Structure 1
Amino acid sequence: MEIVIKLSQFLLSLSLLIILHELGHFIPAKLFKTRVEKFYLFFDIKYSLLKKKIGETEYGIGWLPLGGYVKISGMIDESMDKEQMALPPQPWEFRSKPAWQRLIIMLGGVTVNFILAFIIYIGMTFAYGDLYLNNSEVKDGVWISNPVVEKIGLKTGDKILAVDGNKIKKFDEINEKILLGKEVTVERAGAEQKIALPVDFIDKLLKGVKISIVELRVPFVVTGTEENSPNKTVVQPKDIITSFNGTSIKYADELFALVKEVKGKTVPAIVKRKDKEVAISLTVNDSAKMGIGYAGRLPYDNLEKLGLYHVSKQDYGFFESFPIGIEKGKNQLVGYGKQLKMIFNPKTGAYKGVGGFAAIFNIFPNTWSWEVFWSITALLSIMLGVMNLLPIPALDGGHVMFLLYEMISGKKPSDKFMENAQMVGFVLLITLLLFANGNDIYKAIVGK
C-alpha cells in the first residue's frame, strides 16, 4: 500500500507539471492562431494509451512517462518532421509568425512553471501558515553525527550562528545553507569561531553515510526493541531515558557517548514513563549496543510538549500570504540556482549526486500528506522551469537562444542549421538522462 501511495503522488505531481507546462505553450500558440497538431501527456512512441482528436488537435496520453509535448505546425522540434518543413510556409505555422510571437510561445511553458510554484507557495502559506523553530531556541547547540561534518571541524553542542556571514534565523534553514555555503560561524564554549567548508564538501558527503549535516538534539524516546535485545522486557515504547549509569541524560547523543564507556555491562538507568520516573537496569553488549530503537526525529509540537523547545506558529490572512509566499518561492528559486551552479562546477563533486526519475520518486513520502505533496510539487515546478531554460537545443531555452539571436541580428537561422542543432540537443539530453538515471542505478547497487 505504501508503494501505491508513493507512486500515486509521483504520477499526480508529474502529470500536473507536464500538462500545465505544455498548456503554457499551447495557449499562446492558439492566441496567435498557430496550429497545434498534438497535445500529449507522456510520450506516445509507436502508440498511445488514449487519444481523441478535437478540432485540429489530437489530445492523448502516451505510455512512456518521461515528459510530454505539444506538436506545433511548422516548428523544428522533437518530432523532426522534415516533410512538413520542406513544404512552403503556411500562415498557421510557427515559422510564419513574427519572432516576438514565437518567443512568447516558447517561454510560455517555463513561465507557467514559475507562476505555478509561486501560487502553490502562496496557497500553502495561507492554508498551513508557518510552523518553525527559531534558531535562537537551540540553546544547547546542534547534534553532529555525520563523520564527514565532524572532520571539517563542526562538533555536537556548537551553536550555528551564520553561514557566509548571513545570520541563521530558523533552524530548518541550516542544512541547505551549509550545503551551499563556504564558511560557517559557530559559538563554542562561549566564543565565536569560523569554520571553512572545503570546495569538495558535497563530494565528501556523497561518499559518506546518509546522515544530515546538522541534526536537532532530541531526547532518547524508545520506539521498541530488537528481537534478541537483553532489554526487551525492561523498556517500553514511549519511555524516555533520563539517566544512565548515574548521569542525567537530556539528549540522545549524550546517551550514545555514555554507552560506549560501559561495553558488556549492566548499569542502572531511569526512564520517564507516563509522567513517572521508573528505575531500571540496562544491559550493553560488547559492541556498545542495547538493542533499543529510538525516535530520531520528533514533530516540533512533541518537542514543545516535552519542554525542550518553544515552537513558533504564524498564521497569515489571504492578502498577507502573497508577499510571504512570493518570498518563499524566490528563496527556493535562488537556492536551486546555487545548487545548479555547484553541479556544473566539477571541483565540488556535486554532479555525482544528480539523480533521475528514481531520485524524484524517492522524494515523495510513503504516507499521503497534501502539505508535503504541494511543497514537493512547487520545488519540482521550479526545477522544471530552470532546467528548461538552459540554452540547450531541444529545450525551450535553446529555442529562446536562437530566437533572441534572430531578433538582435535580424537573421533567421536556416532550417538545416536548426535541424542539426536539434540533433545535438537530443544527444546532450540523452547523455544527461543516462547520466542522471545511471547515478540512480549506481546508488541502488552500492546502497548509497
Structure 2
Amino acid sequence: MAVTVETLEKLERKITLSLPLAAIQNEVESRLKRLARTVKMDGFRPGKVPLSVVSQRYGYSVHYEVLNDKVGEAFSQAANEAKLRVAGQPRISEKEGAPEGEVTFDAVFEVFPEVKIGDLSEVEVEKLETEVTDGAIDRTLEILRKQRRSFAQRALDAAAQDGDRVTVDFEGKIDGEPFAGGKAEGFQFLVGEGQMLKEFEDAVRGMKSGESKTFPLAFPEDYHGKDVAGKTADFLVTVKKIEASHLPEVNEQFAKSLGILEATVDALRADIKKNLEREVKFRLLGRNKAAVMDALLSKAELDLPNASVQAEIERLKDGARADLKQRGIKDADKAELPDDIFRPQAERRVRLGLVVAEVVRANELQAKPEQLKAHIDELAASYEKPEDVVRWYFSDRQRLGEVEAVVIENNVAEFVLGKAKVNTKSVSFDELMGSAAQAQA
C-alpha cells in the first residue's frame, strides 16, 4: 500500500490511499461465498443458491461494505505509521485516474494540535476560603426546624400572619376572563415565605377564616407563565382555614429525630458542622478549579480541531433538546438549533479538554487508585450506608470514569495553584453557599 501525507492548513491533513483491486475482489468473492451458504431465496433450498444469483442480488452492497472496510483499515494503518493523532472521522473520496489494477482514495481529516502552555508562575489565581461559623450552624438548625414544624388551627377570629399556613380558594380573571392556572380550591401556602407573589401574600396577610377579598395582582414581565406575564389580574380569594406553625425545640429529642446517635445538642451541632464543612469543601473546589482553568487557558496556545468542536456542538444540542423535552415542549427532538448558539461553549470545552490533557500528560497527573477510593469515600460519607454508595460507584465503569475525571481536574488544579501567584480571599459562608436563597426556596 502506497501512502502519502499532505498538510493542507493548520490541523488539516490529507492521506492518499492506493489499494489493489485484486485484494478487494478476492474479499468480495469470499464474502459472497459465505453468504451463499446461509442466504434464503425463493425457489432455492437453503445453501443451494447459485453464486451468480447471490452476486446479482447482493454484489453491490457487499462490494461497498468491503471497500469501506479496506479503506478504513488502510487509513488506520497509514495514520499509525505516520504517528498522527486523528481528530474526528476522515472525509474519504475516490480519486480519478488511478493506475491499472488499483483504486485510489483521498482521506481528508484533522489532527489534534500541539498544545503550548506558557509560564504558569506568571499567572494570578484568586483562591477562595470560607469558614463554617456558629451563625451558619444556627441558620441550618433553623431550616431543619422549619422542615419539621407542625401546625395547629387558629381561632376563627385570628388574623393570618407570617409563618401561618393558610388554606384558600381563589380565582383570577384578566379583563373579566378566567385563565389557565388562575383558579384553585383548598390551596395551601405559608404566609411570608415567598411561595406566592408578594401582592397575593399581602392580600391574605391579616385576613380571617371565612373572609373574602378582591384585589389586583400584576404579574412580573419575566413570570414563568408566558400567557399572563406582564398582565394584571383581578383575584377573589377566600380564606378557609388558618393554622399556626410550631417549630420544635432544639433539644435531645430533636437531635434523636435527626438520627444523631449521641442524641445531644452538641453532637447535633457537630454533625451539622461536619456536613457543612464537607459541602463547603466541594463548593470551594469547584469555584477554585474554575479560576485555575481560566488561568490555564490564558497561558495556552493551540489551534482547535473543527471536528472536535462540531462533535461538542452536537452533544450540547442533544442536551438542549433533552431539556426541552423534559419541559414538555412538543417535538423537542426535532427542534432546529443553530450551531452558533453553542459554538462559544463548545470551543471552550474542547480547548480546556486539550489543555488539561496536555498538563496531565506532561506532569503525570493521572488519577491514582488511592485517590479514586478517597474521593468516593468522601462522596459516600454523607449517606446513611456509605459502604453501599462506595460499591455503587465501583460497580459501574462509567460512574468510575466520571469520578476519575473529577480527580484528574483536582490534580491539575493543585498543580497549577502550586505554580501560580495565588491571591487568597475569604468569603462568607452565605456568599459561597447562597444560603439565603436556599432558605427562601
**Taking structure 1 as the reference length, what is the TM-score of the superposition?**
0.23
Q: Please give the TM-score of this superposition, normalised by the length of structure 2.
A: 0.23
